Structures are given as C-alpha cells and as structure tokens.
Amino acid sequence: MKLIIAAIKPYKLDEVREALVAIGVRGMMVTEIKGFGAQSGHTEIYRGAEYAVNFVPKARLEIAVPDNLADEVVETIARTARTDKIGDGKIFTLDLKQALRVRTGETGDDAL
C-alpha cells in the first residue's frame, strides 16, 4: 500500500477529486494548509497599506491506495492540478505499512 500526500492549489480540489473518483479512488482526507516553496509568498495591498503574505493557501490531500493504483493516482493528480504556473504544488508517495478499518476490523488493502 502507498500513502500519497499532495499539496495543490485550493481551487483545483474539486477537479482533482472528480478525476480521482473516475479512476477508482474510494476516499481521501483533505486539509486546508498554508505553506511556501519556490513561490516564497507575495505582497498585497489592503486599504492602501502593502503587506507581505509569506504563506500561500493550499489544499493537502492524503490518499491511501493499493500499490497497483499508486502511479495512476500520482499521474492523475499531477495532470489535473497543473496550471503551468509557479505554486502548482508537490506530490509525495510513502510506503504504508498497515491500514485498519475501525468499523469492521479489516486490514491491508481490504481496509482501503
């Protein structure tokens, strides 16, 4: 099993979710986060005063999938979330040692 963690632009979330459901992803966790990378924030003007925005809003997706679906999930997120502009995000793939469905006690791929 793999755990895929992706940070994407928030307005791309619905589009990415729909694309993932279409390839068979049955669930995910989403968190609103803030961060910075190459984008390093930006400046904005509010009521005539300029101020720095050091952290940019992102959506964090956490998706547990069987090994055979992991590459397709990563490719789908990358393709769907891409805007070709700085700040499109990052995707990380981690090995997932164990999963357990609390309600039924199922483990491994059956718990996903």
Q: DSSP of 83-108, one letter per residue?
A: -SSTT-EEEEEEE----B-TTT--BG
Q: How far is it, in rounded angstroms, from Cα 82 to Cα 89? A: 8
- Burial label for 8, CB within 10 Å (0-12, 13-18, 19+), is buried
| Per-residue pLDDT tens over the stretch 49-74 | 777 777 888 999 999 999 999 999 99
* Model confidence pLDDT, tens digit, residues 32-46: 998 877 766 666 677
Burial of 7 (0-12, 13-18, 19+ CB in 10 A): buried
Whole-number pLDDT of residue 40: 67
pLDDT above 70 (res 84): yes
The token pair at 79 is: 């393709």
